[in-house]
Amino acid sequence: MPDAETTPTSPAQDASLEQAAETPTVPKKRGVPEGLWIKCPGCGASLYRKEVQRRLNVCPNCEYHFYVSASERIQHMLDDGTFEPCDDHLRPTDPLDFSDRKRYAERLVAEQKRTGLTDAVLTGTGMIRARRVAFAVTDSAFIMGSMGSVVGERLTRLVERATEQNLPLIIVSGSGGGARMHEGILSLMQMAKVSAALARFDKAGGLFISVLTNPTMGGVAASFASLGDLVFAEPKALIGFAGPRTIKATIGIELPEGFQTSEFLMEHGYIDRIVTRERLKSEIAQAIDYCGK
């Protein structure tokens, strides 16, 4: 859910502290809401909740992909019980003593309590259909999945581990927030840091499959998420840099309908393949084999 309190109010702030304030297709309620029956935001059908969950939180009617948390994503994509977390001891701090409507230090504690995560990314190693991989997933529930120092550092260390151990690297992005404005320039540095680690990984012959999910915006889209040797996306995901309102306010041009969806970006060469959640695990395993990794 886009946190109203983190939404910048002035255009200047919006432009300088790049973050996706507009995430219109992010469901208001995260994931599959409680209750026996749920309404699909995609087709409006009433769905039996357990049926949706059984289908990895995808609508059986229209294939609307509901939000999934980082830990659910690990269950969906890695072989049972194979995930071994790395660098979980790294915890966010508040180096700038930043405060918007709430102190950042307090926001962190509240987000940790609410999501059960210590920051917006989980990293580690695991198996995908018996192939060992380095794996990361960002969670848009934690300050919009934005990239602060801990997200950047955990990802960088994961890439370095993948380089040392010659493991295929899979990063699933669900980040509506881009770089985390609460950490200012320290957040922006993470873009360069992770990208540099990925360049070294690439030089060493590594295979990086980037999986874009709804939403992937801002500094996350502008750095590691776009750097995959293969870029997969879930259907109808919101993917882009700034939101449409910000673009319009900045350059005064109305962009084409749906220009920030997986389908549009696939048509224009930004994404290699749209893969449904159900097929994701198999397609990644296949790609690893095709690439001889």
Q: Which stretch binds Zn ion (CB under 5 A): 58-66, 139-147, 182-190, 267-275?
A: 58-66
Interhelix angle 149-165/184-203, nearest 10 degrees: 10
In the bound state with Zn ion, the residue whose beta carbon lies nearer, of 29 and 245, is: 29
Residue 275 engages Zn ion in binding (rule: CB under 5 A): no
Q: Binding site annotation covers 43?
A: yes
Residue 276 engages Zn ion in binding (rule: CB under 5 A): no
Tracing tokens 């296949």 back to the chain, one arrives at: 286
Contact 118, 153 (CB under 8 A): no
Cis peptide before 256 (omega within 30 of 0): no
Identified binder of Zn ion from the candidate list 1, 62, 127, 285, rule CB under 5 A: 62
Let me know if 23 is exposed, middle or buried by CB neighbors in 10 A (0-12, 13-18, 19+). Answer: buried
The residues that bridge with 232 in the sheet, in sequence order, are 211, 273
Residue 48 engages Zn ion in binding (rule: CB under 5 A): no
**Count of residues in contact with Zn ion, rule CB under 5 A:** 7
Alpha carbon separation from 250 to 14, 237, 245, 247, 253 (Å, rounded): 10, 24, 9, 5, 8
Query: 194-233: string of b/e by CB count within 10 Å (b at 16+)?
Result: bbebbeebeeeebbbbbbbbbbbbbbbbbbbbbbbbbbbb
Residue 171 engages Zn ion in binding (rule: CB under 5 A): no
In the bound state with Zn ion, the residue whose beta carbon lies nearer, of 41 and 85, is: 41
Q: Binding site annotation covers 291?
A: no
Residue 40 engages Zn ion in binding (rule: CB under 5 A): yes
Identified binder of Zn ion from the candidate list 14, 21, 42, 221, rule CB under 5 A: 42
Q: Which stretch binds Zn ion (CB under 5 A): 17-25, 43-51, 120-128, 238-246?
A: 43-51
Q: Which stretch binds Zn ion (CB under 5 A): 55-63, 67-75, 139-147, 259-267?
A: 55-63
Task: List contacts with Zn ion (CB under 5 A).
Answer: 40, 42-43, 59, 61-62, 64
